[in-house]
Every structure is written in C-alpha cells, then in structure tokens.
Structure 1
C-alpha cells in the first residue's frame, strides 16, 4: 500500500483520488474549495483545505512521506506552477502534473516534473483509436512505436489458431497471452485455438498491428 497526495479535487483529481483508494492506497486530498473537500471527505484517507501556493501550508501536510504527488489543479496556471516549485523545494521526487496548455507543458518540462498529463488529449486519442479499431479493447504504448493491444475474438474467428491469425505478420507481432473468462493462457503455442469472446493480447509496431485490422474485422 502506497501513500499519495492529490492537489486539486475537481473532476480529474477526484476521479484519480477515488481510484487510488479503490486500489488500496492511502490518499491525501488537498483543495482550497470547501465544497470539493466536503464531497470527498468520507471517501479519502484525509481531505484537507489548504492553499497549495503557500509552501508553509504544504510543509505542515507532511507531504514528504508520500510516494508521489499528483498536481491536478485546473485552469489556475500560476497556482499549479507555484505548487510544483514548492514541492521541488521540499525535495519531492515523484511529481505528476496535469497540464492545461502548451505553455503550461513547456514550463513544467523546464521544472523537471516526473510526468506531464494531458487528460483531455489522452482521452481523445483513446476514443479515436476505439472508433478506428473497434475490435481493440485496450492499448498501451511501450515507446519506439511499439504497442500492446487487447483484441476481442469475434464469432467469425472462432476456431482459428494463433498462427493462422498472425500468418501475414507473425515475424513482427508477438501473441502475448489469451484471457478466457477467468483463465489466462501464456505462453501461446502457434497451434493454440482461439474461441469466441477470448481476449488476445498482441505486441508489435503500430503499423503492423494496423495492417491486421481488416483481418480482424472483415
């Protein structure tokens, strides 16, 4: 169990906080809006009213004990940047920050935060990918144009082997595992037979994975 602090409990910060709690972690939620604090007080480990632009206020929260801090402040660019500067001065190493503009992103990059998040853009990309490739449930970018994707096996593909499915790209795509109801199958032999409603996880370059799309949807 880890401990996290989330600064800014609007829609994005609240969702992240609640999910971290669901995953079994401790969460300190911080906001200067009493309404947000009262809404989440019973759902978080601690919910605190504080001005995150005040370094002394942050010192009193004992944030140094947290494994990471998420700065989820919305449109107040100045507050976000001041908060990050204070966290840096306090020696906090793992700082994740929600960015709201290119200028915000550029400043955060110069400050050397651990990760910059663009929630709307990232969700937009995921929605576009889902619309373009409806057979893909989940995907994960691994860097260098390499991805993991989770594919639904349709009724049409019932009984096909892994080798047959990947016949045109077998040298470039790796079948990682199959989820079949409550069971996982891995590693996968080339003659493993797929069933309707299996979920197949593949790894490979985006271009090659895209080339498989017609075969998976035809």
Structure 2
C-alpha cells in the first residue's frame, strides 16, 4: 500500500483517485471546489478543500509522504505550474501532470516533469486506433515503433492454424501468448488452431502489425 496525492478532482482527477483507492492505496485528494470534494469525500482516504499553490498548505497535509503526486488541474495553467514547483520543493520526485496545451507541456518539460499526460489527445488516438483496427482491443507502445497488441479472435477465424496465419510474419511478429478461457498457452504447437474468443497477445513493429491486421478482418 502506498500514499498518493491527487490535486484537482474534476472528472480526470476523480477517476485516478478512485481507482487508486480501489487498488488499496491511501489517497489524499485536494481541490478548491467544494462540490468536487463532496463527490469523493467518502470514497478516498482524505479529501480536502485547499489551495495547492501554497507550499505550506501542502506540507501541512503531509503530501511529502506520497509515493507520487498527480496534478490534474484542468484550465488554470499557472496553478498547475505552481503546484509542480511546490511538490518538487517538498521532495516528491514522481510527479504526473495533466497538460492542457503545447506551451504548458513545454514548460512542464523544462521543470523536469517526466510524466506529462494529455488525456483528450491520448483518448483520441486510442479511439482512432480502435476504429482503424477493430480487431485490436488494447495495445501498448514500446520503444522503436514496437507495440504489444491484444487481439480477440472472432467467429470466422475458428479453426485457423495460428502458425499458418503467422507464417509470413514469423520474423517480424512474435506471439507472446494465447489465452483460451482460463488457460494460457505460452508455447504454441505447430497444429494450434484458433477458437472464437481466444485472446492473442503479439509484439512487433507497427507496420508489420498493420499488415497482419488484414488477416483478422
């Protein structure tokens, strides 16, 4: 169990605070809006109406004991930046910040913030990817244009030999595992055939995964 601080309890901040709580962590939620505090007051460890741009206030709330702090302030860029400075002054090394604009992002980067979040942009990319590749339910970006993707096998792929399907991509795309109901296959035999609702996890370059995706349509 760890302690986390979430500053800014709008929709985005609330989602983070409540999920961290659900995962068993202690959460300090801070906002200047009473309604936002009331929304989470009985669902997080501490919910406080406070001005997080005041370093002394943050210190009194013991946010310096946090494993990480998330600055989820939406519109007030100046307040966001002041919060970051205060958190760093209090010795919190892991600071995640929601950036509103490109200039906001640039300033945060100059302040040494490594985890800068663009929720709307990130969600837009995910939606576009889902629309473009409906067979991919989830993906994770790795370095050098590599991705890990999760594919759910549909009815018309029933009985297809997985090695036969992957044959021409063997060198470019790696099968990590196949999940069938509660059973997970890490080693795939030569005669392994797909069943509807199988979950296939593969890794490869984006270009090769795009070529492979046509086989699942």
TM-score tier after normalising by the smaller chain length = over 0.9
TM-fit CA distance, 1:190: 4.0
2:199 matched to 1:199?
Answer: yes
CA-to-aligned-CA distance 1:118-160 (integer Å, 9 cap, x gap): 0000000000000000000000001210000001111121122
Give 2:53's aligned residue. 53
The residue number in structure 2 matching 1:28 is: 28
Deviations for 1:13-44, whole angstroms, at most 9, x for unmatched residues?
00111111122222111111111111100110
> Residue 137 of structure 1 aligns with which residue?
137
How far off is 1:71 after superposition?
A: 0.3
> Whole-Å Cα distance in 2 between the matches of residues 150 and 160 of structure 1?
18
How many residues align? The count is 217
Tell me what 2:97 maps to.
Answer: 97
RMSD: 1.1
Does structure 2 retain, via aligned residues, the 8 Å contact 1:27–1:46?
yes
Q: TM-score scaled to structure 2, two decimals? A: 0.97
What is the CA-CA distance between 1:89 and the residue it aligns to? 1.0
Determine the C-alpha separation between the residues in 2 that align with 1:121 and 1:154. 29
Q: CA deviation at 1:182?
A: 2.2
| TM-score, normalising length: structure 1 | 0.96
The answer to whether the 8 Å contact 1:93/1:114 transfers is: no
Deviation of 1:67 after TM superposition, in Å, equals 0.8
Residue 8 (str. 1) matches residue 4 (str. 2):
no
Q: Which runs of 5+ in 2 are unaligned?
A: none
Judge conservation of contact 1:181–1:198 (CA < 8 Å) in 2. yes
Query: Offset of 1:187 from its aligned partner?
Result: 3.2
DSSP 3-state at the match of 1:213: helix
Q: Please name the residue that 1:208 is paired with.
A: 208
Tell me the residue number matched to 1:41: 41
**Aligned residue in 2 for 1:107:** 107
Structure 1: state its 5+ residue gaps.
none
